[in-house]
Amino acid sequence: MKYKQALEFLEELNVFGINLGLGRITKLLELLGNPQNDYKTVHVTGTNGKGSVTAMLAEILKKSGIRTGMYISPHLSSYTERIQVDGSSCSEAEFAAALEVVQRAMDIMDAKGEEHPTQFEVLTAAAFVLFQLKKVEYAVIEVGLGGLLDSTNVIVPAVSVITNVSLEHADKCGGTLEGIAEHKAGIIKTGIPVVTGAEGIALDIIRETAAANGCDIYVMGEDFYAEPVNEPKGQLSIPPNLGVTGTGVNDRALMDMQIEALSSLSWSKFSLDDDSQAYQLTGFRTDVEVMGNMEYRLALLGLHQVSNSSLAVAAAMVLATDDLRITRSSIKKGMASVKWPGRFEQLTGYDFSLLIDGAHNSAGVTVLRQSLDYYYPDQNRVFLLGILKDKAFEEMLDILLRPEDKVVFTAPLSDRAASPEELLSLPKAKELRCARAESDYKKALSMAKEMAAESDDTMLICAGSLYLIGALRELLLTNR
């Protein structure tokens, strides 16, 4: 099988859609000899941040001298990005070869009249096969959807990480926040440590599931947290309890007020120079015996990455209790070099500031808005947005956009894309200084770039869907 044939094969599998359940993947992996059992794993789920935490943990393990696999979804530009070893995507030939192995097992299932695996199940099986062939020692596995019935949930990891829980994919995960939390908590296995950043009722459910399974649980904000460490000359500084009231409730008005005050301070701002590495100097704080306080340079920017990094560091320290190769030094090296394209990523080489971000739901755009208000409070903003129709796009626009902002709406490369014209007709769009719609994302990008070039001190932000920013990122990097 060649790579082009592999893509055609995957396209044919789209007919089976999203069909949660472990029966098909279990049979498929049995026919493949259960390759997922040949190496240790880390399992990561959550509504937001799970990709960043997955990337951080994989980089820490790599810097520990451990041959490390990483499985993520979706991809930005190529399917090969989903299956990585030691920080590099698999080759097209390796990807096709792994799919061919899985296809042969599927043929046996078909001959027996068994239910056909979905595209994501096939990709998951291919990742497990390739990790076995590449002789990885650890694989950090990101959940596709939910957790309990996700096809990745056939592994027994060394640690389970649940970043957070909010209302997304409710239609497939129980319909309520409680139902979603139960699906996320479904990755918890008997006796396996759990690290989480969940709060409220979701945390209660995760804590109860951990207790029922005899698991140690480490909770961000209780057992550990991360905070910025002030450093002169533009180093970022973010309060660890941004917007938290005296009663422990997170208040958005208070958060906005704090961001406005902090943004007026000279040391809160930074610029990304072509010849320098921007980073956040971060401190990990804990009283847990198996962990320890430390400071590190975090290569990923954005308010949310400080909290995400605390989850990755906590999980790495749990792993270190059984693997002495994972040290404070390797954690620091991993955090300083981790890359996660398309997430508050700044691209240079333009006459204006340009940022792309994978925010694609209400929680994601909340963090994006907070980060923009904090880091770039005085810049004009032009947005290029494409959103999927199954998202709460009215709420997303209300959170993200200021009245003085300009926006071009376009369509992500997905049959689930919301119509740009529909987005343009929403009340929030009518409040803006300038709003336009263009379905062709290439034309939309040209339009947005022209808007950004009209005035000095303007930032162009591309966001709304990973299906959009992947294509935009490739176009921007190719044509700058």
Give the per-residue pLDDT at 245: 55
pTM exceeding the 0.75 threshold for the entire prediction? yes
Give the per-residue pLDDT at 166: 84
Q: Residues 200-208: contacts with CB within 8 Å, 24+ apart?
A: 201/177, 202/164, 202/165, 202/177, 202/178, 205/178, 205/181, 206/162, 206/165, 206/181
Q: What is the 3-state secondary structure (H, E, C) of 298-361?
A: ECCCCHHHHHHHHHHHHHHHHHHCCCCCCCHHHHHHHHHHCCCCCCCEEECCCCCEEEECCCCC
Give the CA distances from residue 425 to residues 58, 422, 437, in Å, rounded to whole numbers and listed in that order. 43, 5, 10
Residue entry with tokens 């020692």: 137
The single-letter code of the amino acid at 440 is: D
Condensed to tens digits (0 to 9), the pLDDT of residues 105-142 reads 999 999 999 999 999 999 999 999 999 999 999 999 99
Condensed to tens digits (0 to 9), the pLDDT of residues 138-168 reads 999 999 999 999 999 999 999 999 999 987 6
Topology at the third CATH level for domain 3-222+302-313: UDP-N-acetylmuramoyl-L-alanine:D-glutamate ligase (3.40.1190)
Q: How far is CA 77 from the centre of its chain?
A: 15
Residues in the chain with pLDDT values less than 50: 232-240, 246-248, 262-276
The partner residues of 228 in beta bridges, in order of sequence, read: 282
From the list 432, 455, 310, the residue with the least C-alpha distance to 383 is: 432
CA pair distance 149, 453, nearest whole angstrom: 47
Q: How many CB atoms lie within 10 A of CB 175?
A: 11
* Domain extent listing, the chain: 3-222+302-313, 345-479
Phi and psi of 85, rounded to 5°? -130, 125
Equal CATH topology for 3-222+302-313 and 345-479: no
Q: In what helix (H) or strand (E) does residue 249 lie, and over which residues does it extend? A: none
Judge whether 132 and 41 are in contact, CB under 8 Å.
no
Topology at the third CATH level for domain 345-479: Protein-Tyrosine Phosphatase; Chain A (3.90.190)
